[in-house]
Amino acid sequence: MEKKVIYSAVQPSGNLTIGNYLGAIRNWVKMQSEYDCFYAVANMHAITVKQEPAELRRRTLELAALYIACGIDPEQCALYVQSHVPQHAELCWVLNTIAYVGEMSRMTQFKDKSQKHAENINMGLMDYPVLMAADILLYGAQCVPVGADQKQHVEIARDLAIRFNNRYGETFAVPEPLILKGGAKISSLQDPTKKMSKSDENPNASVFLADDRDTIIRKFKRAVTDSDNAIRASDDKPGITNLLNIYCAFRPCTLEEAEREFEGKGYGDFKLAVGETVADALAPIQEAQKKLLSDKTYLAEILKGGAEKAYKAARRTLSKVYRKIGFYQGE
């Protein structure tokens, strides 16, 4: 039986947080042996907000190294840079003609980013979900492992697949988001009602995968919590609940086990334990990433191989799409 196809990506738009790790990359690792996986560095998405070119180039390689350091096996998966496969932009153009301006302007992320970057509300920012749909549909992915904030975008990819199939005949697989419990929505340490984000301007709000041990412990020590002192997960304790989620995801253990472990203990002890647990879990990833980045030739080879694998699959789909829509492709 053919393996199911999985597609996901992260933008090289900043330093990755533990939210990106728990919500996305960690789950990718778990799926790689069972599925046919395509994992990309979404540099085309990243330029929808202003990027410093030299930094974008550096971060692209750092992110690829991080995927491998987190456990992605480039032999098993196609690990590649989005812009190395031109079919992403080509399919995006076709999908643009069946995507409506109204539905794109209603996307939560578009509204948030338009507010945050009011001086640069460019066409690409609005087109972001269509390019994401092109990513997913090019490979016939049935399943897209992402954090909860990306659910709306995967739903747009579904809608566009169905719309295209209805208009031109069965062409695309209809993808489903895969949002695993536990790490799907890690909150900011400074405002637990907001998601932790790599572009938050308050550096204490996010724990970065590249943070050193002391920084990690300090950030957890300063995390905003409530005034009572019970360590249990509940809706009226978003700060503690978030810390418990992080603790359980890295330890790993269940919420009940963690609540039992810290029964009768104070917030100080608990926050220190969370910080130490996270720092312990990140240390080997940091070490592995550093080692990988010291051999740029090896990384370039991996990315070239990944792009070749992806290109083959993408070319097949695009040719089918061009046939369906009536683009002349020669005799």
Catalog residues that contact ligand LTN under the rule CB under 6 A. Answer: 7-11, 42, 45, 132, 135-136, 144, 146, 150
Edge-to-edge strand order for the sheet containing 143-145? 78-81, 36-41, 5-10, 143-145, 176-178
Quick one: which of 5, 6, 7, 11 contacts ligand ATP (CB under 6 A)? Answer: 11
What is the nearest approach in angstroms of ligand ATP to the Cβ of residue 50? 12
d(CA 156, CA 170): 18
The verdict on 146 binding ligand ATP (CB under 6 A) reads yes
Contact partner, 14, from ligand LTN, ligand ATP, none, Cβ < 5-8 Å per class: ligand ATP
d(CA 168, CA 164): 6
- Omega of the bond prior to 252 within 30 degrees of 0, cis? yes
d(CA 39, CA 28): 8
Enumerate residues 6+ apart whose C-beta is below 8 A from 180: 27, 145
The verdict on 245 binding ligand ATP (CB under 6 A) reads no
Closer residue to ligand ATP, CB minimum distance, 186 or 310: 186
What is the nearest approach in angstroms of ligand LTN to the Cβ of residue 266? 36
Contact partner, 132, from ligand ATP, ligand LTN, none, Cβ < 5-8 Å per class: ligand LTN
Closer residue to ligand LTN, CB minimum distance, 176 or 259: 176
Closer residue to ligand ATP, CB minimum distance, 88 or 195: 195
Q: Is 142 exposed, middle or buried (0-12, 13-18, 19+ CB in 10 A)?
A: middle
The crossing angle, in degrees rounded to 10, of helices 53-69 and 296-325 is 100
Residue 9: both structure tokens together: 């990506």
Quick one: which of 171, 199, 204, 215 contacts ligand ATP (CB under 6 A)? Answer: 199
Given the residues 113, 219, 237, 271, the one annotated as active site: 113
Given the residues 4, 151, 185, 198, the one annotated as active site: 198
Helix count and strand count (H, E) for the chain? 14, 5
Quick one: which of 5, 7, 15, 23 contacts ligand ATP (CB under 6 A)? Answer: 23
Q: Active site includes 185?
A: no
Q: Which range in 5-13, 99-107, 212-220, 277-285 contacts ligand ATP by CB under 6 A?
A: 5-13
d(CA 286, CA 280): 10
Quick one: which of 186, 216, 258, 292 contacts ligand ATP (CB under 6 A)? Answer: 186
The verdict on 13 binding ligand ATP (CB under 6 A) reads yes
Q: Active site includes 195?
A: yes
The string over 197-221, giving b where at least 16 C-beta atoms fall within 10 Å of a residue's C-beta and e elsewhere, is: bbebeeebbbbbbbbeeebbbebbe
Residue 36: both structure tokens together: 């046919």
Residues with a known catalytic role: 113, 195, 198
Report the interface residues with ligand ATP, using CB under 6 A: 10-11, 13-14, 17, 19-20, 22-24, 146-147, 149-150, 183-186, 195-199
